[in-house]
Amino acid sequence: MIANYLIGSGILYTKQSAEQPKQLPLMENPIKELKTLINEELKDCNGFLWPKVCELQSTEKGKARLEDMIVRMVADEGMSIGSAIAHVEQELSHII
């Protein structure tokens, strides 16, 4: 389900014909796979663009909180991972 969403949003794509989008098989643990994608996105955190997000992920507790916030936004609100990260940065800049 998550992979099919990511294909539709353009985050994850495969070479396929334009007529029929390819449906991926259901994943065993979609949350774990989504967290892997989030970690890949945050791996090279740019402190100039996302100073609060980079600061938050500097601790294990902060990283877990950040992952949970992004997973919730992607799953519940249908945001892309990049948009969710930008939204979290905006929220943190108003709070902190």
75-96: pLDDT as tens digits: 888 999 999 999 999 998 887 5
Residue 40 included in any domain: yes
Residue 61 included in any domain: yes
Sign, CA torsion 26/28/29/32: negative
Please check whether residue 70 is in contact with residue 38, taking contact to mean a CB–CB distance below 8 angstroms: yes
Look at the chain and report how many structural domains it folds into: 1
Residue 22 included in any domain: no
Residue 1 included in any domain: no
Please check whether residue 67 is in contact with residue 35, taking contact to mean a CB–CB distance below 8 angstroms: yes
14-54: pLDDT as tens digits: 444 455 555 555 567 888 889 999 999 999 888 888 899 99
Would the pTM count as exceeding 0.75?
no
